[in-house]
Structure 1
Amino acid sequence: MALRSLDNALPLSVERPKKVAASPLSAKKPALAGVSRGSRLNDENTPPPPAMEQSVEYIASEQLTPLPNSEIKITVLLDELGSKDWMKVCEALNDLRRMALHHTSLLVPILEEVVAVIVKAMKSPRSALCKTSIMASADIFQSLGQHLLSTTEENAFERLLLQLLLKASQDKKFVCEEAEKALEKMAISMSPLPLLRKLQCYANHANHRVRAKAAVAMSKCISVLGIEAMKQFGIVTLLQVAAELLNDRLPETREAARSIISSIHDKFLSDIGAESKDESSATESWNNFCSSNLSPVVAQLIAKIFSL
């Protein structure tokens, strides 16, 4: 039997091709031409550009100059005050302040609408807009304080007064201080008797800070009243309001109450003294006046104020 040729037999082992190790340089992928690495990152991984800071310039009333085109400005002022861009509203409020200080007569016909815009701006969460509107109210008090109640609806001024009292009572110092200045300007610029009637209800406000600011404003009004004006308002009412505030929560309120009582006391003694020309008799009349209109405890407390 012939033997089979071994030429076609399978090799005993198969030699596998060896892998060539990749060079570190050849492993790098070439960068795409004209495409930076930063541009290939996802948007969510890219930090947002820094926000542009917006600042508002707070201009003192003394530095506000007249408008060169006041008659044209008054025709577009309300539209500018109604802008949705709060920065533009701040600019319009500064123009409003210029109108109030230097072009008062042009502002009178739209005063009610202006007050409504100011109240709305005071409610804004943006402190800069709020402060600018408070500054505008102070300038309006200065120029139009004597006419504010007669040229606007009653509720319009009451809303403005409430916002000022609330802003003067809050924790943001630079807003609070500006509101206090506006309230002081209001107290010295407006007719005291009508203003007292508006302030009286806030002496019983639930917020003790509002009571304090109202008491301070009332004390400034009462300090300029004569005895006849006090009687016209109701001198007993003034005394009772002040007596109730003597034991209030805040020292500011109590100090304002003592100031009110002191003003009433001085005018009362001057009036009685002019009639009797006897100081001891006038003092006795004052004590009797307090005793007949206040509780014994409160009357005694008031007597101690003037015995010190």
Structure 2
Amino acid sequence: MALRPIDNALPITPERPKKQTKISALPTKKQQPEFGLVNDENKASLPPPADATIDYIPSENLKPITDPESKIQGLIEGLDSKDWTKVCESLNAVRQFALYHSSLLHPILEKVMLVLVKAMKNPRSALCKTSIMASSDVFSAFGDKLLDPTTDAFDSLLLQLLLKASQDKRFVCEEADKALAAMAKSMTPLSLLHQLRAYVTHANLRVRAKAAISISNAVSKMGLEDMKEFGLVSLVQMAVDKLNDRLPEAREAARNIAFCVYQAYTENEEQKQESWQTFCQSNLPAIHAQSLVKIASSQ
């Protein structure tokens, strides 16, 4: 028997699909970039490994080396190491040798200076700073003995110090300034002037300024005879060139150079201003002579 449809049955409607939960596109914790470093594929990249801890020991806290004669060979090997931390340790040993056992270090001075230059060029700040600190102690210990006409090791070291003193990294810049001051203090002014004169025309304006400051420090310790040996006219021309330099510290150094020459030149002159004016007018263009006379009269 056929079944009759039920009249009051409700029509069957298809079940509405459930609303899917919207998934956030934010990266998970593991996906989120760390330290602000993201590579080209938008994946997290790890920060560079941290430098090992390096102690920056003040010169006055360095101690003599026990049995230095037997350890000098180990120093040479350490300076040649490919491990930068060992090089740092060896540079600190260089400082000890320089301050307390300089006679043992003297035969390898050229090698030491070349290692200092190489370390200053290294991108690791710890190695760079340690090498600059070592250069200060080497300057203090050896002074003019670092000047060897058969090698350009000192010239390379001087250039690197001027470049580091011109950097934006404050702690490197300040340490390089200290090294340049130690250099000016330990070396005879005349010898140092011959080394520095090439850098007052350097393309880098900061290097020019640092060179001018070092020259100013050297000239302030010179007497008239040393100035004459270097060349009075050369000194005042150097000062004139820097009076219009872009950096104020270069201009200030130039004024100090000019005034030091003025003081030495007129030390035994009764008519100081007239004598200085005559000298300037005889050796410089009128506008430059006027600038130097004005500097002398303003002091």
Shorter-normalised TM-score: what interval? 0.7 to 0.9
Match of 2:289 among 296, 299, 303: 299
CA-CA distance at 1:304 after TM superposition: 1.8
Q: Which residue pairs with 1:197 in the alignment? A: 194
**One-letter code of the match for 1:60?**
P
Alignment CA distance shift 1:51-1:126 (3 Å): closer
Deviation string for 1:35-93 (max 9, x for gaps)?
xxxxxxxxxx9x98995652111000000000112111111211101111111111110
CA distance in structure 2 between the aligned counterparts of 1:154 and 1:200, rounded to whole angstroms: 18
Q: How does 1:164-203 map to 2 (within 5 A)?
A: 164-203=161-200
Match of 1:156 among 150, 153, 157: 153
TM normalised by structure 1 equals: 0.79
CA distance in structure 2 between the aligned counterparts of 1:233 and 1:261, rounded to whole angstroms: 14
Deviation string for 1:158-216 (max 9, x for gaps)?
00000000000011110011001000100110121111011001011111000000000
CA distance in structure 2 between the aligned counterparts of 1:270 and 1:154, rounded to whole angstroms: 39
CA distance in structure 2 between the aligned counterparts of 1:84 and 1:130, rounded to whole angstroms: 15
1:108 aligns with 2:106: yes
Deviation string for 1:144-166 (max 9, x for gaps)?
1131114x744111000000000
RMSD over aligned CA atoms reads 2.0
SS at match of 1:270: coil
SS at match of 1:84: coil
Deviation string for 1:214-235 (max 9, x for gaps)?
0000011111111011001101
Q: Is the 8 A contact 1:112 1:153 kept in 2?
A: no
SS at match of 1:114: helix
Alignment CA distance shift 1:205-1:80 (3 Å): same
Alignment CA distance shift 1:142-1:289 (3 Å): same
Alignment CA distance shift 1:50-1:180 (3 Å): closer
CA distance in structure 1 between the aligned counterparts of 2:154 and 2:50, rounded to whole angstroms: 37
Q: Is the 8 A contact 1:100 1:139 kept in 2?
A: yes
User: Where is the helix percentage greater, Structure 1 or Structure 2?
Assistant: 1
CA distance in structure 2 between the aligned counterparts of 1:163 and 1:204, rounded to whole angstroms: 16
Task: List runs of 5+ in structure 1 lacking aligned partners.
Answer: 1-44
SS at match of 1:258: helix
CA distance in structure 2 between the aligned counterparts of 1:303 and 1:96, rounded to whole angstroms: 47
Match of 1:86 among 80, 84, 93: 84
Q: Is the 8 A contact 2:273 2:297 kept in 1?
A: no
**One-letter code of the match for 2:52?**
Q
Matched residue count: 256
CA distance in structure 1 between the aligned counterparts of 2:211 and 2:102, rounded to whole angstroms: 28
CA distance in structure 2 between the aligned counterparts of 1:189 and 1:118, rounded to whole angstroms: 18
Q: Is the 8 A contact 2:119 2:128 kept in 1?
A: yes
Match of 2:251 among 247, 251, 254: 254
The percentage of aligned residue pairs carrying the same residue is 55
CA distance in structure 1 between the aligned counterparts of 2:51 and 2:154, rounded to whole angstroms: 35
Alignment CA distance shift 1:96-1:232 (3 Å): same
SS at match of 2:90: helix
Based on CA coordinates, which of the two structures has the bigger radius of gyration? 1
**One-letter code of the match for 2:164?**
K
Alignment CA distance shift 1:212-1:50 (3 Å): closer
**One-letter code of the match for 1:285?**
S
1:285 aligns with 2:282: no
TM normalised by structure 2 equals: 0.82
Match of 2:140 among 142, 154, 158: 142
Task: List runs of 5+ in structure 2 lacking aligned partners.
Answer: 1-42
Q: Which residue pairs with 1:222 in the alignment? A: 219
CA distance in structure 1 between the aligned counterparts of 2:286 and 2:151, rounded to whole angstroms: 38
Alignment CA distance shift 1:51-1:171 (3 Å): closer
CA distance in structure 2 between the aligned counterparts of 1:252 and 1:49, rounded to whole angstroms: 38
CA distance in structure 2 between the aligned counterparts of 1:307 and 1:149, rounded to whole angstroms: 38
CA distance in structure 2 between the aligned counterparts of 1:170 and 1:50, rounded to whole angstroms: 22
Alignment CA distance shift 1:50-1:130 (3 Å): closer
Alignment CA distance shift 1:53-1:301 (3 Å): closer
Alignment CA distance shift 1:73-1:245 (3 Å): same
CA distance in structure 1 between the aligned counterparts of 2:219 and 2:275, rounded to whole angstroms: 21
Q: Is the 8 A contact 2:276 2:293 kept in 1?
A: no
Q: Is the 8 A contact 1:97 1:140 kept in 2?
A: yes
CA distance in structure 2 between the aligned counterparts of 1:253 and 1:263, rounded to whole angstroms: 15
